[in-house]
Amino acid sequence: MSFFLRGSKTDWPGQPASAASPSDPSYPPTAAFPPTSSSMDISSILQGGYQHPLSRSWQSRRQLTKSMLMYPIFITDDPDASVEIKTLPGQRRWGVNRLEEFLGPLVKKGLKSVILFGVPMNCEKDERGTPADDPSGPVIQATKKIASLFPSIYIAADVCLCEYTSHGHCGVLHADGSINTEPSVARIAEVAVNYARAGVHCVAPSDMMDGRIKAIKRGLIDAGFGNRCTLMSYSAKFASSLYGPFRDAAGSAPSFGDRKCYQLPPSAKGLARRAILRDANEGADILMVKPALPYLDIISDAAQIAPDHPLACYQVSGEYAMVCAGADAGVYELRTMAFETVDSMLRAGATLILTYFTPQFLDWLEL
């Protein structure tokens, strides 16, 4: 039994860190050692509480389940497309005709929800993002297809204009290139309502225009979707360096300037708190923090500011690519690190995780 003894009787080596495998048989027997006296204070001893894989899993307030995962997927306007996205390992742009082969196996594994991002490659883009809610466009077509193929899937749609505007910004612009807020908000609300009409269960505005939550909620109510469509706000979306692979995937880089006048400065904790509070008050049903890992304090703040709302966070493309790259470089094991990152988000207070790791988690999780 000396195998178990390293330094002290409470130092158990070789136990896996993952809480996801409580059936692991490697935990030590409890009755193999005679009692010994110790001068340690009772208050010093914590390890008795987490010596077993199952009791380790009890240490989390919230454990990851399949129903907490929302899978971001890219839908393009070539209906037969299945195109690899080089900067997002394992992710592809899909055409609507390929959704059955793409999603079918994931639904069998327990996929519960997706969020759609339209990637128009062939449409005529203009100043106001007209193709965003084109009935023949990728988001509306994919919504109808997924709803008919997989009626159990919860369908969310990202709502923004940047993939559809000629200038690549998320709103409508003044002549000088600055955001023209009122027409931006009106157009974004119009798109959201048209996605609701197409059958999405949730609209998720990612544009960060002032006042869009109120406008979308009003629009949904007036169009008869007040009780039929959830409004998930990207409330605290930061101007992050971690969106690069997404822009590559969605073709949504702005043609001039950047998004720093509407996305939040990375250091802006107070502003993020105000944005979360504002969106909760304007009628958001779910609040979101994006990106996730560098903003765990903001997730924690959101959980405290709006404790009665579901709280989402988006493990964005660059976070995903970073975790994959580290695993490829041998820094850590992919699965262990994927769990560690997502567990940090749950610990901070998230109840819903948007992540490109969803297909792997469906394999890794039992429930």
Return the active site residues.
237, 290
CA dihedral 91, 93, 96, 101 (to 10 degrees): -30
Counting every residue written for the chain, the total comes to 367
Q: Which range touches Zn ion (CB under 5 A), out of 113-121, 154-162, 268-276, 344-352?
A: 154-162
Q: Which residues pair with 124 in a beta bridge?
A: none
Q: Which range touches Zn ion (CB under 5 A), out of 48-56, 159-167, 212-220, 340-348?
A: 159-167
**114 versus 170: smaller Cβ distance to Zn ion:** 170
Q: Is 356 annotated as a binding residue?
A: yes
**116 versus 162: smaller Cβ distance to Zn ion:** 162
Q: Is 313 annotated as a binding residue?
A: no
**CA–CA distance, 54 with 356 (Å, rounded to integer):** 27
Angle at 80 between CA 77 and CA 86, to 5 degrees: 75
H or E, element range at 340:
helix 334-348
Q: Report residue 235: phi and psi, to 5°.
A: -75, -50
Size, binding site for Zn ion by CB under 5 A: 3
Q: Is 212 annotated as a binding residue?
A: no
2 three-state secondary structure: helix
Q: Is 295 annotated as a binding residue?
A: no
Contact predicate 177/260, CB 8 Å: no
Binders of Zn ion among residues 162 to 201 (CB under 5 A) are 162, 170
315 three-state secondary structure: strand
Q: Maximum Cα–Cα distance for the chain, whole Å? A: 82
Concatenating the DSSP letter of every residue in 48-80 gives: GGGSSHHHHHTT-SS---GGGEEEEEEEESSTT
Q: Is 67 annotated as a binding residue?
A: no
114 three-state secondary structure: strand
Residues 20-45 as b or e (16 or more Cβ within 10 Å = b): beeeeeebeeeeeeeeeeeeeeeeee
Name the one residue in this structure whose structure tokens are 């262990």.
336
Q: Is 247 annotated as a binding residue?
A: yes
End-to-end CA gap in the chain: 35
Contact predicate 244/237, CB 8 Å: no
Q: Is 128 annotated as a binding residue?
A: no
Q: Which range touches Zn ion (CB under 5 A), out of 2-10, 155-163, 178-186, 241-249?
A: 155-163
CB of 288 to Zn ion, least distance (A): 14
CB of 318 to Zn ion, least distance (A): 16
One residue of 20, 103, 160, 189 binding Zn ion per CB under 5 A? 160
- Residues in contact with Zn ion by CB under 5 A are 160, 162, 170
Query: Which residues define the annotated binding site?
Result: 160, 162, 170, 247, 259, 317, 356
Query: Which residues define the annotated binding site for 5-aminolevulinate?
Result: 247, 259, 317, 356
Query: Which residues define the annotated binding site for Zn(2+)?
Result: 160, 162, 170
